[in-house]
């Protein structure tokens, strides 16, 4: 129990026990007219004041996985036919049983030793393009869970960016979406919502899914080539039948139905169907006082109360229906891996700056949702922290965390690139200190005890939908033996997890 939040309550409890003990008569009983308020109403008040709702899915119009379009999306998501060199699929880095990610600090897309081996132990082949012994993709795989709940942007740097991003729209609010295809400035006419726009890009990334496929082609030409691969009826497949079913056009032709625009829409509807928000804390908000533990309740008070009031101030950024402000903040989590071609050594990552070119956005990354965050380790834009406790401790004192971080990172992932990690991280820390001094950072150091940190973890654990921890519950989002495999290119994991 958090002592600083309960001192007053405990004092009154002791006073009541003293007044009622020792065989005193009823006339001597102390009556407290205003009993001490319990934590439950306070927590609910804090939560609703910070944007929590009774049902985050209400009004979003999310698809069900049983519907034809998400079913087609699932077939495509697991198909290596969308990998330029036929050795990677969307699921290579985003498997439902791995929290909608890959459980790696940094992903390995194309050129894996075993393309069907997913998660920890996936290695880049020594003969593959640009092999250096470590992971090939510079940022941690974001989860596909609850993709339909994001309204303003997707990716760590928000490079798929809704111009307005009205609440509950998933970017489909009539004001348009900016993407790399339009140089981050103009509206992308092909972007319908954030999830569908995002599905346009992994297939054209050389390290993720493209490899050396069509090396001199434009983004659009690569997408068209992949669609043509699926539409090619000279190669035995029944993709056309699956597209006819999904788009309810039984007479539709391959030319009209099997386009990359339709592929992206099907992938998006599969991802948008991954709605996992039935958490213990949601049950608590709906009136079940016993849905979360006493420790989680203490953690909730720490989470919502500001540092000046004895809390951790987490809700300054982690607010709203899925516990994110969808904003971008500098928090100086360690920079590992190949980076984004930034800095003197080209292995730094300037984050949001690469999109906006705004100085204040240097080293800023998008606030992650905390819903189901227990299932999405490692944490940080470069996957630098293996546990929730580690990343919480970093938030409480970034300078101390950066100073004591083990930059060898040998336990995180074999071969992860760390040559300039300490210097690059210190650059981010310097920017954070500038913002803290100027009062523009929302991150405030806080001194919590180990017990209080445990309480905070207990609360964050209450934000996880149990379905995400249950293979049987997640089975609907994983192809079964009865799910069509139109060209025999489904990625079947060679390992168990």
Q: Does residue 182 sit within a domain?
A: yes
Would you say residue 365 has pLDDT above 70?
yes
Task: Assign 235 a pLDDT band (cuts: 50, 70, 90).
Answer: confident
Are 87 and 234 in a shared domain?
A: yes
Would you say residue 213 has pLDDT above 70?
yes
What letter would DSSP give residue 469? G
CATH of the domain at 377: 1.10.760
CATH of the domain at 97: 1.10.760.10
Chain centroid, CA 357 distance in Å: 24
The reply to whether the predicted model has a pTM over 0.85 is yes
Rounded to whole angstroms, the Cα distance separating 299 from 306 reads 13
Q: 274: buried, middle or exposed (CB in 10 Å: 19+, 13-18, 0-12)?
A: buried
Are 336 and 432 in a shared domain?
A: yes
Are 223 and 322 in a shared domain?
A: no
Task: Assign 185 a pLDDT band (cuts: 50, 70, 90).
Answer: confident
Would you say residue 348 has pLDDT above 50?
yes
Mean pLDDT of 469-485: 98
- pLDDT (0 to 100) of residue 22: 41
Alpha carbon of 173 to those of 122, 185, 287: distances in Å? 39, 18, 33
CB atoms within 10 A of CB 480: 7
Q: Which helix (H) or strand (E) holds 12?
A: helix 3-20
- pLDDT (0 to 100) of residue 183: 86
Q: Does residue 284 sit within a domain?
A: no
Range of the domain at 263: 68-275+472-477
Rounded to whole angstroms, the Cα distance separating 54 from 279 reads 11
Compute the half-sphere exposure of residue 348: CA atoms within 13 Å on the CB side of its CA: 20
Rounded to whole angstroms, the Cα distance separating 306 from 328 reads 20
Residue 179 has which token pair?
């993407």
Q: What percent of the chain has pLDDT over 90?
A: 90
Rounded to whole angstroms, the Cα distance separating 462 from 476 reads 23
- pLDDT (0 to 100) of residue 6: 44
Are 22 and 93 in a shared domain?
A: no
Q: 243: buried, middle or exposed (CB in 10 Å: 19+, 13-18, 0-12)?
A: buried
Q: Does residue 159 sit within a domain?
A: yes
Task: Assign 334 a pLDDT band (cuts: 50, 70, 90).
Answer: very high
- pLDDT (0 to 100) of residue 9: 38
Are 117 and 20 in a shared domain?
A: no
Would you say residue 2 has pLDDT above 80?
no
Are 130 and 237 in a shared domain?
A: yes
Are 100 and 31 in a shared domain?
A: no
pLDDT per position as a tens digit, 417-463: 999 999 999 999 999 999 999 999 999 999 999 999 999 999 999 99
Alpha carbon of 14 to those of 2, 7, 11, 19, 89: distances in Å? 17, 11, 5, 9, 62
Mean pLDDT of the chain: 93
CB 473 within 8 A of CB 375: no
Would you say residue 5 has pLDDT above 60?
no
What letter would DSSP give residue 127? T
Are 183 and 85 in a shared domain?
A: yes
CB atoms within 10 A of CB 71: 24
Would you say residue 27 has pLDDT above 80?
no
Are 93 and 163 in a shared domain?
A: yes
Residue 253 has which token pair?
């032709």
Report the candidate in 143, 208, 199, 204 with the shortest Cα–Cα distance to residue 171: 199
Task: Provide the terminal-to-terminal Cα distance of the chain, rounded to the nearest Å.
Answer: 35
The count of structural domains within the chain is: 3
Alpha carbon of 410 to those of 142, 328, 420, 421: distances in Å? 22, 29, 15, 13
Rounded to whole angstroms, the Cα distance separating 362 from 329 reads 9
Are 197 and 340 in a shared domain?
A: no
Q: Does residue 72 sit within a domain?
A: yes
Task: Assign 184 a pLDDT band (cuts: 50, 70, 90).
Answer: confident
- pLDDT (0 to 100) of residue 7: 38
Mean pLDDT of 292-300: 98
In residues, how long is the chain? Answer: 497
Are 174 and 124 in a shared domain?
A: yes
Residue 9 has which token pair?
């309550």
Mean pLDDT of 246-256: 98
Would you say residue 33 has pLDDT above 80?
no
Are 29 and 159 in a shared domain?
A: no
CB atoms within 10 A of CB 485: 16
Q: Does residue 295 sit within a domain?
A: no
């Amino acid at each position: 129990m958090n002592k600083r939040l309960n001192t007053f309550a405990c004092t009154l409890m002791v006073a009541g026990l003293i007044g009622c003990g020792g065989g005193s008569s009823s006339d001597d009983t102390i009556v407290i007219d205003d009993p001490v308020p319990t934590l439950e109403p306070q927590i609910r008040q804090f939560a609703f004041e910070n944007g929590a709702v009774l049902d985050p899915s209400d009004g979003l119009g999310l698809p069900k996985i049983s519907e034809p379009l998400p079913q087609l999306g699932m077939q495509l998501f697991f198909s290596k036919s969308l990998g330029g060199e036929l050795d990677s699929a969307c699921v290579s880095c985003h498997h439902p049983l791995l929290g909608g990610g890959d459980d790696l600090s940094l992903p390995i897309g194309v050129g894996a030793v075993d393309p069907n081996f997913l998660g920890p132990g996936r290695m880049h082949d020594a003969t593959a393009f640009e092999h250096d012994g470590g992971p090939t993709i510079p940022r941690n795989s974001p989860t596909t869970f609850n993709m339909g709940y994001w309204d303003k942007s997707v990716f760590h740097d928000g490079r798929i960016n809704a111009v307005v991003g009205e609440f509950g729209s998933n970017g489909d609010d009539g004001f348009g979406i900016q993407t790399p295809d339009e140089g981050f400035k103009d509206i992308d006419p092909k972007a319908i919502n954030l999830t569908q726009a995002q599905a346009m890009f992994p297939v054209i990334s050389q390290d993720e899914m493209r490899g050396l496929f069509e090396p001199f082609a434009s983004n659009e030409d690569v997408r068209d080539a992949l669609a043509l691969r699926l539409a090619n009826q000279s190669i035995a497949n029944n993709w056309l039948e699956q597209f006819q079913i999904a788009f309810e056009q039984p007479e539709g032709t391959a030319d009209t139905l099997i386009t990359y625009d339709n592929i992206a829409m099907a992938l998006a509807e599969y991802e948008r169907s991954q709605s996992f928000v039935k958490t213990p804390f949601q049950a608590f908000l709906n009136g079940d006082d016993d849905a979360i533990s006493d420790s989680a309740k203490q953690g909730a008070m720490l989470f919502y109360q500001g540092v000046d009031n004895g809390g951790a101030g987490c809700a300054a950024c982690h607010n709203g229906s899925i516990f994110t402000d969808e904003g971008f903040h500098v928090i100086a989590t360690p920079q590992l891996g190949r980076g984004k071609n930034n800095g003197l050594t080209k292995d730094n990552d300037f984050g949001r700056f690469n999109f906006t070119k705004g100085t204040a956005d240097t080293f800023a990354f998008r606030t992650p949702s905390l819903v189901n965050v227990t299932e999405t380790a490692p944490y940080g834009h470069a996957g630098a922290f293996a546990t929730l406790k580690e990343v919480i401790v970093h938030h409480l004192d970034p300078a101390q965390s950066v100073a004591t971080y083990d930059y060898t990172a040998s336990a995180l992932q074999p071969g992860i690139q760390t040559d300039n990690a300490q210097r690059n991280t210190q650059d981010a820390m310097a920017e954070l200190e500038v913002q803290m001094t100027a009062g523009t950072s929302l991150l405030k150091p806080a001194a919590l005890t180990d017990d209080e940190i445990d309480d905070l973890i207990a609360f964050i654990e209450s934000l996880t939908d149990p379905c995400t921890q249950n293979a049987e519950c997640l089975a609907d989002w994983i192809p079964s033996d009865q799910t069509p495999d139109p060209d025999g290119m489904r990625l079947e994991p060679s390992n168990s997890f």
